[in-house]
Structure 1
Amino acid sequence: MATCPHCQEEYSPPSAKFCNRCGESVGEITAASAPVQADVVAAESVRSGIPEASQPVATAEAPDGGDTNVKNIVTGEGNIAGQNVTVNQNVEVKYCAVGREQVFGDRQLFQCSQCYKNPVCELHFDASQGLCNNCAGGQASKAAEMTQLLSEDEIVILDGEVVPRSTVKLVNGQLVTEDGRRAADLKSQTFYARPKQWYKVKPKLLRLEQQAMQRLHPHMQMGWTEEGDCCWDGIVRVRSGNEYQIHLRYPHRFPFAPPKAYVVNPKIERSRHIYEDGHLCLFHKDDSAWENNTTAAVVMSWVSLWLHCHEVWKETGDWIKPEADQVIITPRY
Structure 2
Amino acid sequence: MSSPPASPADHGPGIGSETGTGISVAPVPLRLIVGDEELLVERAVASALVSARAADPSADLRRVAAATLTRPELAELVSPSLFAEGRVVVLEAAHEAGKEVASAITDYAADPADGVCLVVLHAGGARGKALADALRAAGAEVTECARLTKYDERVDFVRAEIRRAGGRITQDGIRVFIDAVGNDLRELASAAAQLVSDTDGAVDEAAIRRYHRGRAEVTGFAVAEKAITGDRAGALEALRWAIVLGVPAVLVADALADAVRTVAKVGAAGRGDPYRMAGALGMPPWKVRKAQGQARGWRPAGIELAMAAVAEVNADVKGAAADPNYALERAVMRVVQARDAT
TM-score, structure 1 as length reference: 0.19
Q: Which has the larger radius of gyration?
A: 1
**More RCO (CA 8 Å, sep 6+):** 2
**Larger strand proportion, structure 1 or 2?**
1
TM-score (norm 2): 0.19
